Structure 1
Amino acid sequence: MGSESEAKIPVIDLSNEKLKAGTNSWVEARDSIRKALEEQGWFIAEYDQVSLDLHNAIFSVTEELLDLPYETKIKNLNHKPSFGYMYKISNIRLHESLGIDDATTLEACQNFTNLMWPQGNDQFCESAHSYVQLVAKLEQTVMRMVFESYGIEKYYESHIKSSTYLLRLLKYRRPEKDEDKLAFVSHTDKSFISILHQNHVKGLELRTKEGNWFHFEPSPSSFVVIAGDACMAWSNDRIKPGYHRVIMKNDNEVRYSLGCFSFHKDQLEVPKELIDDKYPLQYKPFDHTSFLFFFDKSDERKTQHGIIKTYCGT
C-alpha cells in the first residue's frame, strides 16, 4: 500500500468526544461519510468507544466459541439465509461463522449463549452484548449523518426504530499449501450497513472507486463501514454498495473477524426527497427479509451484480 493509495482512502475519526451535532467536526465528518459512501461504498472509522479491554475480550470469546465441537455449532439455526452457522459453503472453504440475530437485545445474546454453553458462559454473553451495542451506536451515528446530509432528518427516528442487528463471529483458517487463498469472494452485502472489525491478522481487501484493491491494515480502533445493497436501493442509487473480499496467505495465523449487519423489520422505500430529475425513482418499496430469501434462491446470487434491481427495480 503506497502513499498515493493511502491518500485516497477515507479514514474518518468518529472517536472524538467533541463530535457533537452541529459542530465543525461533525459537519466535516458528515460530509466525508456521504462522499465516501457515494463514491465507493465504504470508509474506515476510527472509533474508540470499544475499549482495548473489550476488543481483547470479544476476540477471546470468539475464539472460544469457534473452538466448540461442530455438533454444538450446528445448533445455531435461523430461518433467514446466512444468519445461522456457516461452514464450508460452496468454494469458500476457509471460512466458518455463527450469527446472533437481534443481538442488541440481551435476551438474544443470552439465548445464543445458553444454546452454545448449556452450563452458561457469562463472559461470552456480556462481551458480545456490550460489543454489539457499541457498534450499533456507531452505525446509528453514521446513519444520522447520512440522513442529515440529505436533509431528511425527519425520517431518522423511524429508520432506527426499524433497524435490527445481526452479529456474526467469523473465523478464517490459513490455507494448506496447494489450497485456494481466496477465503471469501468479492461481494457486496445484502444488509443496509455492515461494520467489520477484526484481530491483527490481515486478509480483508476493499475495492476503491478506481477499481483497485486496498489491503486493510487492522487495528483495535479501526472499523470498516460498508454500505449494503439495501442502502443503495433506499438511497435511489446515490450510495454505492461496497465490494470486499478476504484473501488468506499460507503463513497467516487464524483470522478472527466480527461483522455487525443492520437490517430492517419494516418496509424500505426511497424517500421522496431523493427522487429528482438527476435521480428518477429506481426502486419500488421492498421488504428486507424477503429480499434475503430472493437472493438466496436466485441463480444471480453467484454474480450478485444488480440483484436488488432485479428484485425491486422500477
Structure 2
Amino acid sequence: MGSRAYIQLPVIDFSVLNDQNANTRVWDSVKTEVFKALQEYGCFQATIAGMTPELQKSVYGAMNQLFHLPFETKSKNICTRMFHGYVGSSSQLPLYESMGIDEPFIEKQVENFTNLMWPQGNPQVCKDICIYSKKLLELDVMVKKMVFESLNLEHRFDEHLELTSYVLKLMKYRVPEPNESDLGLHEHADTGIMTILHQNDVEGLEIQTKEDEWFKVKLSPNLFIVMVAETLNVSNIKNTVWLNGRLHVPFHRVLIRQKKVRFSLGLFALPKMGNLLESMEEMVDKEHPLLYKPFDYDEFIKFLLGGRQGKEKYAVKAYCGVLN
C-alpha cells in the first residue's frame, strides 16, 4: 500500500552557484547542505538555473510523441548495456516502459537517437534534449565534487569523472486497469553512482527513510531529485553505507494513483565498462575496514538479474561483500 504522507526533503538552490563558483562562502554553504542531506536522506531536491518551462515542455512533449511511436520503431533503440535501450512492459512491470540515450549531452549521440525515431530528423528535439541533459550533468558534477571535497578526496575527483558514463532514461507509466496493481516500479536502490530524477505532471515517486517508513515525494516541476546510488558508497567514495552510514542509499519505488499517464526523466551516472571497481585506499583504515572486494559493474548487473541477491537488502553487498 502506498504512503499517504509526503516526505519533507531538503530543497537546495544550485542556481546561486551559476557564477563560476566565484563565491567560496556560498559554495561551502551549499556543500554543507548537500552532504548533510545525503547522510540523512540519501537524496534531496534541487533547483537548477536555466531549466525553463519552455525547455521542459519541449522535452516532455517529445517524450509523449516517442512513446506513441510503433513498437517496431521504439525497439530500434538498442544498446550493449542492459536496460539502456528500449524496455517494453512486462508481466513483472506491466505499467512501465522506457528508452535510453547514452551520453545525452553529446549532440551526435542524441542526433543518432532522434534520427532512428524520426527518419526525417527532429533537430529541435535533439537540441533541447542536449541542453536539458547538459544542465543535469552540471548538477551531477557539482554534487559529486562537493561530496569528494567533504571527504577530503579532491585529488581523486578528476579520476572519478574519467571512469563515469551517463544514460538519460525517458520513462512512461500507463494508467493501470481496474483489476491491475498500481505498482509502476518495484522498490529498489539504484545500483550506479548517482541519479537525478524529475517527475513532470503526475506524482508517483516514493522514498523509504532510514526508519523503513515510506513517504510520497510531492510533485514540483521546478525541482529535481538527486539520489545516491550503491556504487557511489562502495567503490568511489566511502564503503560505509552498512557500517557508519557516511552516506545513505535510499530505497524508492513508483506507484501510479492518478488516472493519467505519467512521464519522468532520469540521468543515471554509471561506472564505465571495462574497469574494475574497488574502494579507495584513503577510505580504508582500522576504523573502516575493507568491506567490498573489487568487482566488475556489468558482471554485477548480471548477478542481480539472475536473482541471486537473496535476503541481503543491498545488492552490491550481496555480490562482493568480503564476508560473502
Q: TM-score, normalised by structure 1?
A: 0.91
Structure 2 residue aligned with 1:305:
313
Counterpart residue number, 1:281:
290
Q: Distance in 2 between matches of 1:132 and 1:185?
A: 26
In structure 2, the residue corresponding to 1:87 is in which secondary structure? coil
Once the two structures are TM-superposed, the CA of residue 297 in structure 1 deviates from its matched residue by: 2.8
Equivalent residues of 1:170, 1:258 under 8 A apart: yes
Query: Which residue does the alignment assign to 2:243?
Result: none
Q: CA RMSD of the aligned region, Å?
A: 2.1
- 1:157/1:21 CA distance change after superposition, 3 Å: farther
Q: Distance in 2 between matches of 1:89 and 1:305?
A: 24
Distance in 2, Cα, partners of 1:72 & 1:2: 40
Give the letter for the 2:239 counterpart: N
Residues 163-196 of structure 1: per-residue CA shift (max 9 Å, x gap): 2110000111111112101111111112110110
Q: How many residues align?
A: 309
CA contact (8 A) 1:188 1:304 kept: no
Q: How much has 1:74 moved relative to structure 2?
A: 1.2
Q: CA contact under 8 A between 1:233 and 1:283: conserved in structure 2?
A: yes
Report the Cα distance in structure 2 between the residues aligned to 1:18 and 1:120, rounded to whole angstroms.
33
Unaligned 5+ residue runs, structure 1? none
Percent of aligned pairs with the same amino acid: 37
Distance 1:79 1:11 in 2: 36
| Match of residue 236 from structure 1 | 239
**255, 258, 264: which one aligns with 2:262:** 255
2:301 to 292, 296, 301: 292
Cα deviation, 1:170-228, whole Å, max 9, x if unaligned, reads 11111111210111111111211011012121111111233222211222321111111
Unaligned runs of 5+ in 2: 241-245
Q: With structure 2 as the length reference, what TM-score do the two structures score?
A: 0.88
Contact 1:104 1:165 in 2 (8 A): no
Aligned to 1:12: 12
Q: What does residue 254 of structure 2 align with? A: 246
Q: Are the aligned partners of 2:5 and 2:215 in contact in 1 as well (CA < 8 Å)?
A: no
1:269 positional shift: 2.4
Pair 247,135 (structure 1): closer, same or farther in 2 beyond 3 Å: same
1:168 partner SS: strand
How far off is 1:66 after superposition?
A: 0.9
Residue 18 of structure 1: how far off its partner (Å): 6.4
Distance in 1 between residues matched to 2:22 and 2:180, nearest whole Å: 49
